[in-house]
Amino acid sequence: MKRLYIPTDESELVFLKSFLDAEGLPYFVLNDNFGSMYSGVYMNNFNAKTIMVPEELFEDAKELILSVLEDAKFEDEHGAGEGESGTGGILDFLSFKWLFPKSGKDKK
């Protein structure tokens, strides 16, 4: 499974899951329930809900999401210091970025 996309909120996640289901693309949502159980600091490496798909279907799933979300940023497009590294979440926490909710425009 490969990380595809981190939705900005629960409604976007439900919306995208319905499109993936309709197209018959298999997916898994990492932290699907965990991210909702605990409120507080939102760190991508800890409690972000991440849509994951099989590697061979990554491009198909990416095209599907782009067809409904034109400004979507995918996990394979992150630069150094973002996404997979643990320092991005720590820096967000220490700089108090977690106090302010992310808007769709500011999403990594």
Helix (H) or strand (E) holding 23: helix 10-23
Domain 2-99 carries which CATH code? 3.30.70.790
Nearest to 2 by CA among 30, 41, 24: 30
Residue-level pLDDT at 90: 65
Give the residue carrying structure tokens 């108090």: 96
The mean pLDDT value of the chain amounts to 77
Q: Sketch the domain layout of the chain as residue ranges.
A: 2-99
Give the residue carrying structure tokens 């499109």: 19
**What tens digit of pLDDT does each residue of 73-107 get?**
887 765 434 444 455 566 666 666 656 655 555 54
What separation in angstroms does the CA of 87 have from each of 62, 95, 108?
Answer: 26, 12, 14
Confidence of residue 48 (pLDDT cuts 50, 70, 90): confident
**What tens digit of pLDDT does each residue of 70-80 get?**
888 887 765 43
Give the residue carrying structure tokens 């939102």: 42
Nearest-angstrom CA–CA distance, 17 and 78: 22
